[in-house]
Amino acid sequence: MSNAQRRGFLAAVALTIPLVVAGTPAASATAEPKIEVSGGVTQPVFSYEDAIREHVRVQSPVDSDGDGKKDLLRVDIIRPKESGSGLKVPVIMQESPYYDLPGVGFENEHKKYDANGNVTKFPMYYDNYFVPRGYAFVSVDMLGTRLSDGCPTTYGATDVLGGKAVVDWLNGRATAYDDKGDPVEAAWTTGRTGMIGHSYEGALGAGVAGTGVRGLETIVNLAGYTSGYETSRINGTLTWYKGVQEELAKRIDLDPDEKCAAVHQRLREGPDDASGNYNAYWNERNYRTGPVSKARNIRASVFSVMGMQDRNVVGSQFSEWWAKMPRTVQRKEWVTQYGHLDPFWARREVWLTTLHKWFDHELMGVANDIMRQPRADVQLGPDRWITQAGWPAPTRTTTLRPQQDGSLGRKPSTGTGSYLDTAQTEIAMADDPATANPDRLAFLTPPLQNAMRLSGTPSVSLRLKLDKPTANLGVLLVDYGTDTRINYRERTATSAEGLKFIGGEDCVGQSTADDDGCYLKAGDNTAASGFHVVTRGIMDAQNHKSLSRQTPLTPGKSYQITWKTLPLDYEFKAGHRLGLVLTGTNDDFNLDVTGTGSGDDVEPGTGAKVTVDLAGTSISLPLVTGTSIG
């Protein structure tokens, strides 16, 4: 939306949503509350306890379970009482597959219902916080889950089209029914809808936005997938266990397996776990360039949050999608050092303030300063955040090359090195780089004279020979130097993804006896360490020409193989050393199903000998302008 268009929208929306600026005299002492704005944000003038609670079933355009009937989605609604007598309100919508298992949010919350089947407790805080400020909150059971018809298809087309149908209903283009089967219209809403959610929920927002549906004005994608392929593999290597697509669908659907047997068969066979190749199954689940959802079709504004140490939704899920959206899309981003995280748990006060302004601006038309603030918030370390105009930061490419003496420098070297493709953890790969290890090659820069920051996506290029038709090629970029860092690896009852519970609760918004809107407080989980794996890259060598087909290598023949690592934003401190580790199978990406700790049911390593020609090997780094290596 251009500036002129946005000014037109702000003027038009004021005609459909009555706004009362703080300090304006009320028309009468008995007048019903109107949406009130003070300090650039809406105020909590509506009663949460007295809000209207209702539910409908929206007809989708799909029959995912093949029973000959179009699937109906269960939609639970809470909206200000005043929206029943003329006030039209915008919608914040969360579509989730998690309302049964495992539950929503870090506290795994579930819905509670009254005798009429209406929800008395909505998971998360969106209803408690935003309904008193004049929003409706709409909670959608994804197709195949909870009280909706159909079968979940693990990011498939029907998952996306179900959510789109709800946006269509909110804008008068689809049909919904009450419990008696009578049609219900959403006459209480302006139609302006924002989707928000974490992980699978965030993916649904990205998928629906990519259909270009009108009425979806913004999405807030919190560590959400944009490529189904990258949920289970990277560059031909499996990163989740075989059969995970079917298992994910079964895990969130509590109906008998027989109901969705045909869908489960497609989820079992479609991914082609034997090869790890990209195919039509994965293309359907591609929200960047796929047949159902395309980044180029996005009309909605986008607020996205991504953890650079997320192993579930890797950073390229954000960066590759981000780059393919039209430049005209209004956007904002938070880039963190955490894992798979919703920032409500990490930076709660700042997050709520930012999200509030964002929704007010995009859905209410409030003329606040959210779009004048720096677009990107970037976390560089524990309690250390900076803002900048966008992500990545302006950079120039610096290329480093491994040297025969184990150093990492600017000039090409001569000689070769070799290692075996075995499955190792990243800690084992990166530890003690000065010690010879038959399963890796390690190269280090001299101690850095000044702090140095990288922002963006490195790429690595190896000239190599194999003694087998393929190998899993791995690369790590490592910060060597003792420091206190976000501990994203630790998982306990009280810590995960770089956070830990610190005691006490915050209560967000208004409460009722069933829904108190209170949540545990969390803070950065840190640990001192001698080194830190900043980013990594992996590839099945036989997919070096194409992700859609395998091209086995001829043993003994030299090949130049180039690929991207995962994106990063990271500051190396003065005195630290930057390390490049070349290795085989990255066992940290292998989900351990057998309980052996080996991950050997995913990628056990090929055992191939990888011989690297140092003269043709390099890593290209996006170095933030104004810093240098040396």
| Residues 364-396: tens digit of each pLDDT | 999 999 999 999 999 999 999 999 999 999 999
Q: What is the DSSP letter of 211?
A: T
Q: Residue type for 73, please?
A: L
Adjacent-strand bridge partners of 286: 227
Summarised one tens digit per residue, pLDDT across range 290-303 is: 999 999 999 999 99
Cα Rg of the chain (Å, integer): 26
Q: Which of 198, 264, 340, 576 is catalytic?
A: 340
What's the pLDDT at 590?
Answer: 66
Q: How far apart are CA 478 and CA 476, in angstroms?
A: 6
Cα–Cα distances in angstroms (integers) from residue 354 to residues 108, 193, 222, 348, 365, in the given order: 24, 18, 14, 10, 15
Does the active-site annotation cover 340?
yes
CA 450 vs. chain centroid, Å, equals 33
- The answer to whether the CB of 90 falls within 8 A of the CB of 17 is yes
Q: Which residues of the chain have pLDDT under 70?
A: 1-30, 590-601, 628, 630
Cα–Cα distances in angstroms (integers) from residue 326 to residues 296, 491, 524, in the given order: 6, 38, 35
Q: How far apart are CA 297 and CA 282, in angstroms?
A: 19
What's the pLDDT at 601?
Answer: 53
> 301-307 and 216-222 as β-strands: parallel, antiparallel, unpaired?
parallel
Q: How far apart are CA 88 and CA 188, in angstroms?
A: 5
Q: What is the CB-side half-sphere exposure of residue 1 using CA atoms within 13 A?
A: 18
Q: Which of 65, 168, 310, 540 is catalytic?
A: 310
Summarised one tens digit per residue, pLDDT across range 555-613 is: 999 999 999 999 999 999 999 999 999 999 998 886 544 343 334 457 789 999 999 99
Sequence-distant (≥ 6) Cβ neighbours of residue 138 within 8 angstroms: 75, 76, 77, 91, 92, 93, 94, 166, 170, 193
What's the pLDDT at 551?
Answer: 97
What's the pLDDT at 30?
Answer: 57
Percentage of residues in the chain with pLDDT exceeding 70?
93
CA 491 vs. chain centroid, Å, equals 20
Q: How far apart are CA 435 and CA 332, in angstroms?
A: 44
596-599 own/partner pairs: CB under 8 Å, 24+ apart: 598/423, 599/423
The whole model's pTM is what?
0.94
DSSP codes joined into one string, 39-74: TTEE---S-STT-EEEEEEEEPS--TT-SSS--EEE
DSSP codes joined into one string, 403-446: -TTSBEESS----EEEEE---B-HHHHHS-TTS--TTEEEEEPP
| Average pLDDT, rounded, for the chain | 93
Q: What is the DSSP letter of 361?
A: I
Q: Residue type for 570, please?
A: Y
Q: Which of 60, 96, 199, 301 is catalytic?
A: 199
Q: What is the DSSP letter of 159?
A: H
> Which residue spans within 248-330 are E strands per DSSP?
301-307
Q: Residue type for 50, please?
A: D
> Which residue spans within 227-291 are E strands per DSSP?
233-234, 237-238
Q: How far apart are CA 398 and CA 413, in angstroms?
A: 16
Does the active-site annotation cover 598?
no
* Tokens found for residue 152: 């979940």
* Cα Dmax for the chain: 88
Cα–Cα distances in angstroms (integers) from residue 173 to residues 59, 169, 186, 216, in the given order: 11, 5, 10, 13
Does the active-site annotation cover 310?
yes
**In which region does residue 260 sit, left (phi positive, over 0), alpha (psi from -120 to 50) or beta (all else)?**
alpha
19-28 own/partner pairs: CB under 8 Å, 24+ apart: 19/364, 19/365, 19/366
Planar angle of CA 375, 377, 383, nearest 5 degrees: 160
Q: Which helix (H) or strand (E) holds 349?
A: helix 348-359
**In which region does residue 428 sit, left (phi positive, over 0), alpha (psi from -120 to 50) or beta (all else)?**
alpha
What's the pLDDT at 241?
Answer: 85
Q: At what angle do helices 244-252 and 261-269 cross, to 10 degrees?
A: 150
DSSP codes joined into one string, 428-495: HHHS-TTS--TTEEEEEPPPPSS-EEEEE--EEEEEEEESSS--EEEEEEEEEEEEEEE--S---SSE
